[in-house]
Amino acid sequence: EASKSLNFIEHIIEEDLNNGFSKDKLRFRFPPEPNGYLHIGHASSICLNFGLGIRYNAPVNLRFDDTNPVKEEQEFVDAIKRDVEWLGFQWDTERYASDYFQQLYDWAVLLIEKGKAYVDSQSSEEMADQKGTPTEPGSPSPYRDRTVEENLELFESMKRGDFKEGTHVLRAKIDMSSSNMLMRDPIMYRILHKAHHRTNTDWCIYPMYDWTHGESDYIEQVSHSICTLEFLPHRELYDWFLDQVYDKKSVRPKQREFARRNLSHTIVSKRKLLKLVEENVVNGWDDPRMPTISGLRRRGYTPEAIRNFADTIGIAKRENLIDVSLLEFHVREHLNKVAPRVMGVLDPVKVVITNYPENEEEWLEAENNPEDENAGSRQVPFSREIYIEKNDFREEANRKFFRLKLGGEVRLKNAYIIKAESCTKDADGNITEIQCTYDPKSKSGSGSEESLRKVKGTLHWVSIKHALEAEVRVYDRLFLDESPDTHKDKDFMEFINPDALKIIKGYLEPSLKSAKIEDRVQFQRLGYFCVDQDSTPEKLVFNKTVGLRDTWAK
């Protein structure tokens, strides 16, 4: 761990430590708003913040930034906790910005008393008109010079519930001509007569993000508050708000920014993902097509794969687009090590082995994972009628076709060498059956001369009478465009791939009868698959996680 090179946030921390900041005062937080499920972008932030905690042996809080009762729900709180734990991280304390509503209110009163905040009773349009432009100063609100007494009284009435939504706000009195628009008397509180998922109807005024975030960091004594780049211009305000309450003895939190993580062919925004859920484009937040942590989990991703992905790309100072194939590379790499190999046929054609006795069967030994010597082996049944993949057979083919063709030989994985003798077709010319003979002495692993005979191709197969039928869900990219939400003239919804889910019927070896939800396997020669939560012993359901190699059309 210590040998890994430092990222730029760690360099900032190292510099602080070199300048005398005490290591035991380091403290971090991951601050999601519970208004949706976490996505792959959040995974970067989780790995960064919890990674800092691990590197410096410092506590990391899980802080719910729950200041907007309109969009926040307990369901999202629960999902976020589940996802962070599943990724393999443990927070020190679970915190909620809403726990600080009283403290924030008291500090707001303090600001009013110091003449640094006032109640504005204009409409939001009027306030917007006075904001000015980045090159022209704004103009002051007619309410800017209200007396302290008047402000205190109005603010208390706001809190008591005397006013309708939109009639008053509390604003910080900073600088209407600042070159930073965010410093032009930003709103600290608005009236919202909405129940909150934790404080219920205790409050009808809610603090704004900028007022809440830094003060919450201060309350929790977070030393380094890491956020994404769009908050860079907010840093001045973060510091201004801290100046108002800082006691000069405690740890003073420092906001630092890194670039948001974008992934190709998908979107990383809870708000937009919510739209996909609400409009039933997908079947819920954990739909395997979704870039959510829970969607990736259901798709068959491992926490290790997601962490390795995040660690490999690291963090950047500038936004960039990461190709989704890099994420797939990491899951493939991890599953290659841990996923047992099994056989399943997803697009079957029947093969009859004409010289194999009609009512016989035998159970053959099959290695579970050549990458893992402790993975052991299992038995797979063989009989006269088997399925192979349709595209593994051609009547005629050139010498580069190493699969089965008439007159040619292949090895059946874990079993025998077969030779295609003839085939049967239906009226449309589709092949309905292939007749083969097998070499009884060529059994894999038997050590016989024939078993060592080299044939070019090896095919996977299943014995028809032993096969389990399964529903197999195969996924494609959710969006046809590389960056669906960056087009000025088009909505991201226009780029949805209508064929991102295909449901097929597969035939699987019987050892999968006992597969459990979330079990991950490699269907040999096809890819990695996992058992979906919809699966039952009567009706198996598998999701395709990823193919064996990168086959996306570029």
221 binds, among ligand ATP, Mg ion, none (CB under 5 to 8 A by kind): none
| CB of 442 closer than 8 Å to CB of 416 | yes
- Residue 42 as a binder of ligand ATP (CB under 6 A): the answer is yes
What are the φ and ψ backbone dihedral angles of 349, each rounded to 5 degrees? -135, 145
Q: Looking at 237, 268, 305, 540, which residue binds ligand ATP (CB under 6 A)?
A: 268
Stretch that binds ligand ATP, among 6-14, 38-46, 156-164, 337-345 (CB under 6 A): 38-46
Q: Looking at 227, 386, 417, 462, which residue binds ligand ATP (CB under 6 A)?
A: 227
| CB of 510 closer than 8 Å to CB of 348 | no
Report d(CA 297, CA 435) in Å as an integer.
42
Report d(CA 58, CA 513) in Å as an integer.
45
| Marked catalytic residue, from 184, 261, 270, 544 | 270
Q: Is 328 a catalytic residue?
A: no
Q: Is 260 a catalytic residue?
A: yes
44 binds, among Mg ion, ligand ATP, none (CB under 5 to 8 A by kind): ligand ATP
Report d(CA 210, CA 187) in Å as an integer.
9
Cα angle 495, 497, 498; round to 5: 125
| Marked catalytic residue, from 260, 350, 394, 525 | 260
Residue number with CB closer to ligand ATP (159 or 254): 254
| CB of 184 closer than 8 Å to CB of 240 | no
Q: For 234-240, which contacts have Cβ atoms below 8 Å and span 24 or more sequence positions?
A: 234/182, 234/210, 236/180, 236/182, 236/183, 237/174, 237/180, 237/182, 237/183, 237/186, 237/210, 238/210, 238/213, 238/214, 239/214, 240/172, 240/174, 240/183
Residue number with CB closer to ligand ATP (284 or 510): 284
Residue number with CB closer to Mg ion (33 or 72): 33
Q: Is 34 annotated as a binding residue?
A: yes
The residues in 234-263 that bind ligand ATP, with binding defined as CB under 6 A, are 260-261
457-486: b (≥16 Cβ within 10 Å) or e: ebbbbbbbebbbebbbbbbebbbebebbbe
- Residue 190 as a binder of ligand ATP (CB under 6 A): the answer is no
- Residue 336 as a binder of ligand ATP (CB under 6 A): the answer is no
Q: How many residues bind ligand ATP (CB under 6 A)?
A: 16
- Residue 214 as a binder of ligand ATP (CB under 6 A): the answer is no
Quote the crossing angle between the two packed helices 209-220 and 235-245, to the nearest 10°: 60
Stretch that binds ligand ATP, among 40-48, 495-503, 507-515, 526-534 (CB under 6 A): 40-48
Q: Is 425 a catalytic residue?
A: no
Residue number with CB closer to ligand ATP (41 or 303): 41
Stretch that binds Mg ion, among 16-24, 27-35, 40-48, 464-472 (CB under 5 A): 27-35
Report d(CA 13, CA 531) in Å as an integer.
43
Report d(CA 119, CA 122) in Å as an integer.
9
> What would the two tokens of residue 212 be?
């809440």
Residue 364 CB, shortest distance to ligand ATP, in Å, is: 48
Catalytic residues: 33, 260, 270
* Residue list for the binding site for ATP: 33-35, 228, 268-270
* Residue list for the binding site: 33-35, 65, 209, 228, 268-270
The footprint of Mg ion (CB under 5 A) covers 33
The footprint of ligand ATP (CB under 6 A) covers 31-33, 41-42, 44-45, 65, 227-228, 260-261, 268-271
